[in-house]
Amino acid sequence: MKIPETLISKYNVPVPRYTSYPTVPFWEEKHVDRTQWLKNVKKTFNASNDENGISLYIHLPYCESLCTYCACNTRISKNHKVEDSYIDAVLAEWKIYCHTFGKTPVIREIHLGGGTPTFFTPENLQRLIRGILSDSKLHQDYAFSFEGHPNNTTYDHLKALYEVGFRRVSYGVQDMGLKVQKAINRVQPYENVKRATEDAREIGYTSVNFDLIYGLPFQTEAGVLDTMAKTLELKPERIAFYSYAHVPWKRPGQRAYTEADLPDSAEKRKLYESGKALLLANGYYDIGMDHFSLPGDDLYKAYQLKTLHRNFMGYTANHTDLLVGLGASAIGDASTAYAQNVKTVEEYKEIVAQGELPLEKGHFLTEEDILIKEFILNIACKGELFWGYNPDILDFNALFQLNSMAKEGLIKLYDNGMRLTDLGMAFLRNICAVFDKKLQGKKENNMPLFSKAI
């Protein structure tokens, strides 16, 4: 499907990726109240733990080198002596939450992100997970996943994590062209990606994900198609085909190249559409927000059943109301509140050593926030939204934008709701933004808060 240039031009504006609402720049608590946060956590835990369980996101920030495209919170080091003290701190933070729960948590999901989780030795990763599980029970439908770097994810890493319950691995592939890899300081031969994928499957992993990025410096359509062709040889169960977020004012590493090295908006969109067409032609389904899945994967099944969920870990097939974030910069979601840990490793460990949660900023949701959060989740996860016949739900500005999108063919608009069209899936972030009252009220400043939609 060729997208009209007029739509690309109109909607190529800075908008969030909506892993939360309100999004992080609009959180109101610059120094979140720990007592109030724990009250929200406890309330959500009591309401949902026994049936749905809880999710854990554990941030392992260490990397041996800086990938210049990356916007994650990382700590660059080749000193692996840092591993033990960091894991000790994460386990100590977990103990604080367990004390707050007052009864045994039921773990539904664990995701190890970073950074590079496989910076840590297999033995230390096992120590971390076993330490978490020693205070917990497993949900009958638990799902554990981790992010791996193809260059340093060894057979022993995969085996060790498999032994403690992991069945899904996500590899940061980005692009398989050498010129692009050199520009972003992430040179990883195809052979390493192939080895890491085949090792995972040999051990018994049931789902492999590739993270790919379009819009990187020096990318061409031929290069993206070559990356896709190599990806299709390995047939990962899931693919995240992300738009590169060029935010050098936030991430100085991105100044290693200039905007002149990046494809322009029309070229960038062509990279995406060409790559997407190849995926769809080879059995993948577009489930939204640049995510694709084979029909046998749990993510696609959840999409079909309209049980897909979205949180700070991205799309997930398991919906839990409580997400506990552990580690430096990790974010927690207690359904009616958000909180993020301090970002530096030193401050994180220092606060945890004092027996305190290392919280920094956060947000306690109002009734309006909760309603809008539900709206955005329905659009992002189900491709539809029904608001009933309450005329107070939508303001004039939202109705005006929705009518315009309906005329452009992005949505089908009804008296009491809307559904996205196939064309509208390409502008999912923009459609979510219609309901984002924090974004609508934002005053422009010198630098945008978010990457562009395209």
Confirm or deny that 67 is annotated as ligand binding.
yes
Gap between the Cα atoms of 94 and 56, Å rounded: 10
Q: Which of 176, 193, 293 is nearest to 228 (CA)?
A: 176
The answer to whether 116 is a known ligand-binding residue is yes
Task: From 60, 23, 67, 47, select the one nearest 365 (Cα to Cα).
Answer: 23
Structure token pair of residue 170: 């996500």
CA distance 21 to 368: 11
Whether residue 186 is annotated as binding a ligand: the answer is: yes
> What three-state secondary structure class fits 444?
coil
- 63 annotated to bind ligand: yes
Q: What is the Cα–Cα distance from 266 to 304, expressed in whole angstroms?
A: 31
223 is in an annotated binding site: no
Site of tokens 């499957």: 201
Question: Does 71 count as an annotated binding residue?
Answer: yes
Helix ranges (DSSP H) in 144-215:
155-163, 178-183, 190-203
Does the annotation flag 302 for ligand binding?
no
Contact present, 374 and 357 (Cβ < 8 Å) = no
| Cross-strand bridge partners of residue 411 | 420
Q: Confirm whether residue 245 is marked as ligand binding.
A: yes
Distance in angstroms (rounded) separating the CA atoms of residues 134 and 236: 32
Instruction: Check whether 251 is labelled as a binding-site residue.
Output: no
Q: How far apart are CA 272 and CA 228, in angstroms?
A: 11
Residue 72 annotated in ligand binding: no
147 is in an annotated binding site: yes
Backbone angles phi, psi at 10, to 5 degrees: -65, -45
Helices 155-163 and 122-133 meet at what angle, rounded to 10? 10
Q: Which residues are annotated as a binding site for S-adenosyl-L-methionine?
A: 57, 69-71, 114-116, 147, 174, 186, 211, 245, 331
Q: Which residues are annotated as a binding site?
A: 57, 63, 67, 69-71, 114-116, 147, 174, 186, 211, 245, 331
Q: Which residues are annotated as a binding site for [4Fe-4S] cluster?
A: 63, 67, 70
